Amino acid sequence: MLELLRIRNLALIEDAELEFSSGLNALTGETGAGKSFIMRAVDFLMGERMDKKLVRPGTDKATVEALFVLPEGETVIRRELSAETGRSRVYVNDTLSSQPTIRDMAARLVIHTSQHGQQKLLSPAFQSEILDSFLPDQSLLAARSDQLAVLNDVLERKRRLSEKFDDLQKQREFLEFQKKEIETVDPQPDEENELEERKKILKDRERAGECLQNALDILHGEVGLLDAMALLNREMEIIARLFPGFDEDREAIEELRMRLHDMDSRLRRGPSDFDDDDPMSLDDIEARLFALAKLKRKLRRGLDEIVDMKAEIDESLSFLDACALDMKNLGREEDQAAAALKETLASLNKARKKAAGELAIRIVDELTDLGFSEHVKVHFEFDARELYPGCDDMRGRLMWVPNPGQPAQPLDKIASGGELSRFLLALVTMRGNGNKDGEEKDARPSLIFDEVDAGIGGLTLNSVGKKLRALADRQQMLLITHWPQLARMADRHFLIKKEVVDNATYTRCERLDNDEIKCELARMAGGGEQGAALAEKLCK
């Protein structure tokens, strides 16, 4: 039950608080005063979108807050709308929540029936949804949706597989050509860099060999450096004996001669890491690099890309070879999914036809109570919507005969606004009757009727009033009406009016007492003596 609703800074509403009764709550006022906008605020609270332009000028946000009393306790829902960004935040018991969560809660909190609902009632799709909502076994609908999703998934996978097969089949000859070109060269990952490194090493070794030979030639040439150093050392020994001051020079020459002998030995042996065990010569490496460069030019890709490309080509060609088996497996999945869907649809369509007959009888009973002729007839016609070859989803469309002697026609062809209002009220009544016996009143969703009485009057109005009163005795109702005959039945009456203060317009919400109710009923009845008389009569 919706116990308290507070609206702040939303459109013309600066701050309004409405404390509702558990029974029938009437909201009345002049056209344009803002009655329906209060119901829009409830819809906003239940997850509907609202434009940031509706935030009251001069304020940073609008807030709608409601207190619901449920069997498990009180629940406070608050939603805020930013004037700057248009984004909203929703809180449940002061804890940040999400709009999907609120929408899930909405079905057990509020049922909103408005003139917009009358227009939805004209839609064949909505009529089919109505019939489905009265099915005793809702699991059939869930099974239909799940199995259709499975079937559509299989069909989508088949479509993608077929598209890929067709695309690759067109490229097969070219793919095989590319594969042959790559296999002929057989490039390896990072091979080009490795070859360049080996090429550099071999060139370095070639140059080092030349230098070694040149050094040996210097040491052992026609005037070899070693022979010259031996002669110089012998002469220095004689000089040092004759002139002791040259003894250090002699020692230096001797040391140098020994160092040259040692170097000669090492040059003859060569460096320890100079052994060339590379099986490829420089010519071999150059030829391999040329072959790789030619392949890169031909395929217009880098070497690493070509290596990866080979794996992709192998995968694509393997896919083409295995595609027939994959399509066969998907075909089996499709047949199984279609068979399951067909079986579920058979049960669902049978259940729909049975429910349609029972629902039609219940609708006729409700319409008769609402002032329709006792001769009114209602039934559902079914149109087959093919979900898959051999799988027809039978969608029910509401047909009626308001007067005897007329052929049955769709509701949208012949129903007036007043008739639609009563049809909608009949359906809501039956939905309300679907509550479990003994279920607490607080556990039932609050009913909101926004001018659902439009287009009716006279004796029909009395029938509608009785029906509304009976509903309100069973669960809470919020009723926006222009009829004093309906407003006078309210357990609590609110007047919605506009006021201008200091050139600013405000929507006010006032709870009326006995004398104020009589004045409002008189206004609704047309005012003057005639309106006052009717109000006096209604209040007795």
Which pLDDT value is given to residue 371?
A: 78
Q: How confident is the model at residue 401 (pLDDT cuts 50, 70, 90)?
A: confident
pLDDT value at 192 more than 80: no
The two three-digit tokens of residue 282, written as one number: 């420089």
Q: Mean pLDDT across the stretch 258-262?
A: 84
Helix (H) or strand (E) holding 507: strand 504-511
CB 21 within 8 A of CB 465: no
Amino acid at 379: H
Segment 148-191, tens digit of pLDDT: 999 999 999 888 878 777 776 766 666 667 777 776 777 777 77
pLDDT value at 272 more than 70: no
The two three-digit tokens of residue 122, written as one number: 């004209």
CB 480 within 8 A of CB 36: yes
Which pLDDT value is given to residue 245?
A: 80
pTM (predicted TM-score): 0.62
Nearest-angstrom CA–CA distance, 36 and 23: 19
pLDDT value at 344 more than 60: yes
Nearest-angstrom CA–CA distance, 444 and 475: 6
Q: How confident is the model at residue 51 (pLDDT cuts 50, 70, 90)?
A: very high
Share of the chain above pLDDT 90, in %: 30
pLDDT value at 261 more than 90: no
Amino acid at 73: G
Nearest-angstrom CA–CA distance, 446 and 105: 13
Which pLDDT value is given to residue 478?
A: 92
Which pLDDT value is given to residue 336?
A: 93
Segment 97-118, tens digit of pLDDT: 988 888 888 878 888 776 556 6
Share of the chain above pLDDT 70, in %: 85
pLDDT value at 87 more than 90: yes
Helix (H) or strand (E) holding 96: strand 95-96
pLDDT value at 484 more than 80: yes
Which pLDDT value is given to residue 115?
A: 58
CB 76 within 8 A of CB 411: no
Segment 408-421, tens digit of pLDDT: 888 777 666 667 77
Q: Considering only CA atoms, which of 182, 200, 209 is closest in space to residue 294?
A: 182
Which residues 6+ apart lie within 8 Å of 489 measured at CB? 24, 26, 465, 468, 469, 472
46-55, 123-132, 306-315, 440-449, range with the lowest pLDDT:
306-315
Q: Considering only CA atoms, which of 155, 122, 118, 135 is closest in space to residue 394?
A: 135
CB 306 within 8 A of CB 192: no
Which residues 6+ apart lie within 8 Å of 219 measured at CB? 225, 226, 260, 263, 264, 267
Q: Considering only CA atoms, which of 490, 497, 521 is closest in space to residue 25?
A: 490
CB 450 within 8 A of CB 113: yes
Which pLDDT value is given to residue 114?
A: 64
pLDDT value at 273 more than 60: no
Q: Considering only CA atoms, which of 90, 80, 84 is closest in space to residue 57?
A: 84
52-61, 93-102, 239-248, range with the lowest pLDDT:
239-248
DSSP 55: B
86 compared with 318, residue with greater pLDDT = 86
Q: Considering only CA atoms, which of 96, 85, 88, 4 is closest in space to residue 42?
A: 4
Q: Mean pLDDT across the stretch 298-312?
A: 74
Which pLDDT value is given to residue 267?
A: 74
Per 3-state DSSP, what percentage of the chain is helix, strand, and coil (rounded to 5)? 60, 20, 20
Segment 319-337, tens digit of pLDDT: 667 676 777 888 889 999 9
Q: Mean pLDDT across the stretch 69-95?
A: 92
The two three-digit tokens of residue 231, written as one number: 């002669």
